[in-house]
Structure 1
Amino acid sequence: MPTTILVVDDQASVRQLLHEYLSEHGFRVITASDGQSALYTARRENPDLILLDLMMPHMDGYQFIKQFRQERQTPIIIVTAREEESDAVLGLELGADDYVVKPFRLRELVARIRATLRRVSEEAERTKTLHVGDLWVDVQAHAVKVREKEVYLTPLEFDLLVTLMRAPGRVFTRDELANRLADSGFAGVSSTLNVHIRNLRCKIEKDPGHPEWIETVFGVGYRLRKPE
């Protein structure tokens, strides 16, 4: 299946140019004209990489990055005008991966895209094994060990634990967790999330009533507690 690139730019001429050129280089290209429509498209199409303009109506590139980074870690390359080049630094601080300045060489842009995708793939390879304290997860083998003892999780419990372990210390809202698990193909998680958290605690915690790992942040959601 070809790599999917989402091009987000309010100029139709730029969208058309990038669509034609990237398609010629083997990418599947989808487009959006502002940040709001880009959010909808990204959620539906799950692109492999996003090319993002900064100055757009309705929702600009900064707002898009802030909101999208709460949901997914899809690589983002900012495409910015030269007079806005310093503004791209803010985009990087918000979570973008790289930036290119208009007018850009199309060959260079493709090289940047391929380099970013290669780096992300290498990072994903390195994170096939997750480790926090005495808690180990082999993502590829679908195996979990707690204090050297293997435990057996349902597919949903496993995906829930992996989500939390990829960002130890970060608080995930209930809606975030439900949406991420729904993206993995699990329906109806929102109404049963408490049950799945309880079942997961029963399998990995010494004392599920006083959890060492999965901490409830009251009024917000859950997080995987970092060991002290």
Structure 2
Amino acid sequence: MTKPSNLVLLIDDEPKIRRFLRAGFEIHGFSVVEAENAAGGLKVATFNSPDLVILDLGLPDLHGSEALERLRAWSNVPVIVLSVESNEDEKVRLLQSGADDYVVKPFGMAELLARSDAALRRYFKSATENPVVTVGPLAVDLASRTVSLNNSRIKLTRKEYRLLHILAMHVGLVVTHDQLLKDIWTGNQRDNIQYLRILVRKLRQKIEADPNQPRLLITESGVGYRLENRLEPSVVD
């Protein structure tokens, strides 16, 4: 299943562990990107759209379980958790929170690669079964990361696609301002809702027939946004 195009994101604060993992994955045909903390890892995941995430629980800025929760708010990328703890209750909790697998340190690279291949097989099988979210004339292909409007491909910036991807993963449901800010931006930008409003306006310019009367990207005033296929105007924000 492993192909050179498969990109793995390593989120671990120990340089030696990252070097060990990078060497093992690259030898087996993966491309690799790294992050030393949760904030960096979420940022890399946003801009690079990895096919697999290896997530250490003991991160310096945020516990890995919280990083997993934030990632799962907008992405179904396979996540394998690394931990020095072998507690069964902890494993169950993380698997219920969205982890695809749990590996206890120390571990062998052969075991991790086998688990990675299994996670990728499950992911790609699921993606091919139902990879497209269709909302009226809009189609978001989560597998190929492409967007079409009235059967014609449209080009989005990375942030525009990330916003649309998050909403497509929760189609019909409201995603809060706070969650979108946390998952798309970093640093002080996370606290400025104006960045989100500007991004929403730009995306509406590309996907709405009339951006001033949106029918796809709907505002829930004071709460957030949702992607909806009900063809009725909403409040503009």
Following superposition, the deviation at residue 39 of structure 1 comes to: 2.3
1:220–1:105 CA distance, 2 compared to 1 (3 A): same
For 1:193, the aligned partner's letter is V
Q: 1:111 aligns with which of 111, 114, 130?
A: 114
Counterpart of 2:198 in structure 1 is: 191
- Listed as ranges, the gaps of 5+ residues in structure 1 are 145-150, 181-187
1:58-207 correspondence to structure 2 within 5 Å: 58-130=61-133, 137=139, 139=141, 151=150, 155=154, 164-173=167-176, 176=180, 179=184, 190-191=197-198, 193-194=200-201, 197=204
For 2:16, the aligned partner's letter is S
1:135–1:79 CA distance, 2 compared to 1 (3 A): same
Distance between the aligned counterparts of 1:45 and 1:38, measured in 2?
10
Contact map agreement 1:78 1:88 (CA 8 A) in 2: no
Following superposition, the deviation at residue 155 of structure 1 comes to: 2.4
Counterpart of 1:8 in structure 2 is: 11
Distance between the aligned counterparts of 1:192 and 1:32, measured in 2?
26
Distance between the aligned counterparts of 1:14 and 1:62, measured in 2?
19
1:30–1:126 CA distance, 2 compared to 1 (3 A): same
Counterpart of 1:53 in structure 2 is: 56
Larger-gyration structure (1/2): 1
Counterpart of 1:183 in structure 2 is: none
1:226–1:104 CA distance, 2 compared to 1 (3 A): farther
1:195–1:117 CA distance, 2 compared to 1 (3 A): closer
1:13–1:136 CA distance, 2 compared to 1 (3 A): closer
1:153–1:214 CA distance, 2 compared to 1 (3 A): farther
TM-score norm. by structure 1 comes to 0.68
CA offsets per residue over residues 19-45 of structure 1, 9 Å max, x none?
Answer: 222221111223333223322333343
Distance between the aligned counterparts of 1:195 and 1:16, measured in 2?
40
RMSD: 3.9
Distance between the aligned counterparts of 1:21 and 1:162, measured in 2?
31
1:102–1:46 CA distance, 2 compared to 1 (3 A): same
Following superposition, the deviation at residue 57 of structure 1 comes to: 1.7
* Structure with more contact order per residue of length (Cα contacts < 8 Å, sep ≥ 6): 2
For 2:40, the aligned partner's letter is S
Counterpart of 1:36 in structure 2 is: 39
Following superposition, the deviation at residue 49 of structure 1 comes to: 1.0
Distance between the aligned counterparts of 1:36 and 1:164, measured in 2?
21
Name the SS of the counterpart of 2:33 in structure 1. strand
- Listed as ranges, the gaps of 5+ residues in structure 2 are 186-194, 231-237
Contact map agreement 1:4 1:30 (CA 8 A) in 2: yes
The answer to whether structure 1 residue 216 and structure 2 residue 219 are counterparts is yes
For 1:171, the aligned partner's letter is V
Distance between the aligned counterparts of 1:99 and 1:142, measured in 2?
33
Contact map agreement 1:171 1:223 (CA 8 A) in 2: yes
1:10–1:84 CA distance, 2 compared to 1 (3 A): farther
Residues paired across the two proteins, number = 207
